[in-house]
Structure 1
């Protein structure tokens, strides 16, 4: 059994507030487990959280967990068997299991990640539109300082890149609604469209779908803006040829 498995053993799944509302910046929670490490480093597990962990091509949120007499700087959040573990540095007294705390996101960073993640879904649509078919992705980082998506296709030339960027910004500027829905597994095929990687989707009883209305509907657990106009302008920063496919680097401004 690994240290992470021991840390979450016997714990219920964390209530993940970011799955239903990406704009929740703070929440009250209860400490249910504390794992001490060297010095002031700790893992803290709460019954509920606003912190999105490192998962699905999205980097971890950062911020604070605060209680009376202490402050915990969240450096990263991890997900294991449905439990979110907050890792960071403690200042002040030792918190106790069962006590109430306040979670506070680094909202400026989170909102940038939301814009970048929605921009990544827009790029999926623009790349697929250019090549005339849904192009699978091989990996992604929808966050600073270097956002990118890896595509399973021969690299496009400079002219094609310009066309992809133009299409992506047309979608962003259209101010389309971005909807979150939860669907049972048997209804997944009815609800998704223009979605890459469906053959690699892990088996589950239900799925969370992020839909850019009229553009694509993709299984995703990440945080997103509610209108594409919030993304701003998408700038393609370059292309890197990989042993398989290509990496498209981008930013939002």
Structure 2
């Protein structure tokens, strides 16, 4: 533990160390092991530190088989050398704020409602905890957030104690510890006692704030998404920028934003419905115009039309003309789409008919004896396909 400087003082930003060895792991990544380090390795839900060693960027830190490996893109220098090391303090302090904030929020849910935290993840943007409850109300979330921020405002000390397994009975732990030796407790007096190997600030006030952002059911648990510390300020700024843009675009004050958006969505829904009705009317007009050709077999090649439009046109025609056959082809230059339909007075099998054509264009499709559709590559022109279909039914 003496070599893990982040446990002696989480605020260490620079230090000197000696390279004990420098190797590549089984995947070919370069790493060094130091005689002591303040770089925190990934673990316990907390991401690793970054920074520099001997002027080289450290992009990953892991503890493997009891040794802490610091990973680089290229080797540094030979083992045995002394090097200067610098922690990326902004990243480290952010992790300290987030991890301590998680302890406080988890303890708040536990104190108020008995909801245990059964999972924790610290992401680059937000944190999540999984609570052992299938339901969470807005009122419960608000009360837990209020208590968490009250504990932060009181600026209670955050204490670190190393204890033995026998000494654990002296503390009202929020959850059982997984380790049986070198047990590290993170304590907020009269509020939270928890085994943890992460880095934390000296007092709750340094967490600044906790804000719950959202939650969702996750199997039999509830996953809470939240932010702490400087992330809360940053997110507030981001959301404020979005609100300002929306107030300018919609020309409404912030307090009326929800009403304005609801009106906008309702208008869009009405416009969409009107547009769909107009499309239906145009398709019906087009279908009647095609039917006026007074031909038993109706054929046409369309440019850049959807298969859905062709299907609607064909159905409109055969529903009104029982003795008709309809063959439509749509092309976009690279692919062909084909619709075959018949009125109920006809005896031809559309599924069988289209099955004669699709292999010629490396296509696939399906349907039944009355209506079939498919598509494939533009290996033939639309006119050539129609000619073949007409030949097959004559």
Q: If the length of structure 2 is used for normalisation, what is the TM-score?
A: 0.55
More strand by share: 1
Deviations 1:228-251 (A, max 9, x none): 011011111111210131111111
**Structure 1 position 147 matched with structure 2 position 115:** no
Out of 174-183 and 235-244, give the one that drifted further. Answer: 235-244
Deviations 1:61-86 (A, max 9, x none): 111111xxxx3211111112321111
Moved over 3 A (4+): none
1:156 to 1:17, Cα distance in 2 relative to 1, 3 A? same
RMSD: 2.1
1:143 Cα deviation after fit: 4.9
> Out of 227, 234, 256, which is 1:251 matched to?
227
Deviations 1:37-62 (A, max 9, x none): 79x95111111111111101111111
Distance 2:81 2:111 in 1: 52
Larger RCO (alpha carbons 8 Å, 6+ apart): 1
> Out of 120, 124, 128, which is 2:106 matched to?
124
For 1:5, the equivalent position in structure 2 comes to none
Distance 2:38 2:135 in 1: 38
For 2:199, the equivalent position in structure 1 comes to 223
Out of 170-179 and 236-245, give the one that drifted further. Answer: 236-245
Distance 1:121 1:163 in 2: 16
Contact 1:45/1:85 (<8 A) preserved = yes
Where does the alignment leave 5 or more consecutive residues of structure 2 unmatched? 233-394
Q: Tell me, what secondary structure is at the counterpart of 1:208?
A: strand
Q: Tell me, what secondary structure is at the counterpart of 2:59?
A: strand
Q: Tell me, what secondary structure is at the counterpart of 2:73?
A: strand
1:169 Cα deviation after fit: 0.5
**Structure 1 position 238 matched with structure 2 position 214:** yes
Q: Tell me, what secondary structure is at the counterpart of 2:98?
A: helix
Q: If the length of structure 1 is used for normalisation, what is the TM-score?
A: 0.84
Q: Tell me, what secondary structure is at the counterpart of 2:78?
A: coil
Distance 1:37 1:54 in 2: 17
1:194 Cα deviation after fit: 4.3
For 1:60, the equivalent position in structure 2 comes to 48
Q: Tell me, what secondary structure is at the counterpart of 2:134?
A: coil
For 1:163, the equivalent position in structure 2 comes to 143
